[in-house]
Structure 1
Amino acid sequence: MFELTWFAWALLGVAAVVIGLSKTAVPGAGTVAVAIFAAMLPAKQSTGTILLLLILADLFAVFTYRKHTNWRALLRLAPAVVAGILLGVVFLFFADDVWVKKTIGVILLVVIAITLLRRRMGAQVSDAGPHRVAAATYGTIGGFTTMVANAAGPVMSMYFLAARFPVKEFLGTAAWFFAIVNIGKVPFSIGLGLITVPGLVVDLVLAPLVIGGALFGRWLAGRLNQTVFERLVIAFTVIGAVYLLI
């Protein structure tokens, strides 16, 4: 069993609330929770522990926004995401925690810069070639980062943000994306020894807080306007990227 102080439990509790909130109101905020789990638990085991809490929050998000999903966007992303996940599995065999964190941090900052530049120039993701290129790029990076560190939230947030999805369509599409991807990662996580009995105990303790955060996020999402929503997504993405680099 992990030896955790009351302070560690308190931080993990905050992270659990953030997980629920990130799935139903503020995508990208989940990176903060990933950072807390990595700091409080053994690095690799933390990814398996938080994965099950993410799936719990995904289920609430899917139920809440099931009528606001862009399935065409998800199907376009699917091949690249699968490729990215497989690359992530291979990467985990060779890279240590330091390389993983710094690699993802650099990727996130590059993604943010490209997205903001495209928006400033007035470019939007369309149904033509550029959309397929964007889906392949973001999908591969998203699959890779979700496998190695559960950090695909900011990456995919930038893709959905660039696609100019309304708030609820953004949340609904992201909900189904992560529910499918995270459940698909479970066998790999078990095989790599990332999901452990002590981790399951931590999950049972924190599960109610995840549910509470998800319910609060559902209430909050209906009161966020598009501009505030997009600024929050970008802000949390930058915070997560900087943390991973530091």
Structure 2
Amino acid sequence: MLDLTLEGWILAIIASIAIGLAKGGLAMVAIISVPILSLVMSPVQAAGLMLPVYILSDVGGLIAFRRNFDIRVLKTALPGAVAGIGIGWATAHIVPVWGVTLIVGLIGLIFALNALIRPDLGHDARQPSPVKGNFWGMLAGYTSFVSHSGAPPWQVYVQPLRLPALIYAGTTTWFFAICNWIKLIPYAALGQLSLPALKTAAVLTPVALISVWLGLRLVRIMPQKIFYQFITWGLLVVSVRLIWQALMS
């Protein structure tokens, strides 16, 4: 296993809880996992450590949301996501992580502020669009590859569709589960899945799986209006954190 300090283990457990809650439906929570671990290790190492936890937690999320997803939304976004992951792989040694982090933070911040300042603009549900879906899906795939921070671009596309809370959560879980499985290939090729990291991820996975159940319970009892307010405010807080992290790099 990785030689983590007590602080490192505490942060890794918090990151795993965040991932589990996200796979249970509270999508924005997981985005803090890599930034939190980056306090005690490099972002690249943190991303490699968390990917197996994401993938194994996906199993719990997929079981929970096996009937709650919108196939139309997935069809309009997944081709772009695959392309985005490919671009991330091809440019892994060129584009600085802080630059991607800054872009993701700015996109999320603008969208969240717009939703909070002018909430009536998002009252009428939009229909899934292949053009918009593949564009934002590509950004989500790319930023997910770089730092597991694909939620803000994904939310920009999906939130205006005004899906029911469970369908929103399930569609998000399916989208990122598929992305994570695809990311295994380039992550392995880039040497980010070391044996010590995999052993550490195995220890953290039960924590994440328990948190999947907790997240699912919260989504099921949370009124839809509060659910969308939660993810909007969550997006705002996380985006500010990402911008700060990028500027301090």
TM-score by length of 1: 0.90
Structure 2, unaligned runs of 5 or more: 245-249
Does structure 1 residue 101 correspond to structure 2 residue 79? no
Q: CA deviation at 1:60?
A: 0.8
1:184 to 163, 182, 185: 182
- What whole-Å deviation, never above 9, does each CA across 1:112-132 have from its counterpart, x for those lacking one? 3566678533553225xxx23
* Match in the other structure for 2:82: 82
Instruction: State TM-score, norm by structure 2.
Output: 0.89
Deviations 1:121-172 (A, max 9, x none): 3553225xxx233212211111111111111123223322211010111111
Opposite residue 109 of structure 2, the aligned amino acid is: L
Pairwise CA distance, 1:97:
3.1
Q: Runs of 4+ in structure 1 displaced over 6 angstroms?
A: none
Change (3 A) 1:200 1:68: same
Cα offset, 1:34, TM superposition:
2.2
Q: Distance in 2 between the 1:63 and 1:50 partners?
A: 20
Counterparts of 2:98 and 2:152 in 1: how far apart (Å)? 19
* Aligned residues between the structures: 243
Partner of 1:151, secondary structure, is: coil
Where does residue 40 of structure 1 map in the other structure?
A: 40
Identity across aligned pairs (percent)? 27
Question: Aligned AA for 2:238?
Answer: G
Hey, what's the Cα distance between the residues in 2 that align with 1:111 and 1:91?
26
| 1:115/1:158 CA distance change after superposition, 3 Å | farther
Report the 3-state secondary structure (helix = DSSP H, G, I; strand = E; otherwise coil) of the residue aligned with 1:94. coil
Structure 1 residue aligned with 2:162: 164
Give the alignment partner of residue 171 of structure 2, picking from 170, 173, 178: 173
1:15 corresponds to = 15
Distance 2:73 2:139 in 1: 16
Unaligned runs of 5+ in 1: none
Rounded to whole Å, the distance in 2 between the matches of 1:136 and 1:208 is 34
Question: In the alignment, which residue of structure 1 is the partner of 2:226?
Answer: 228
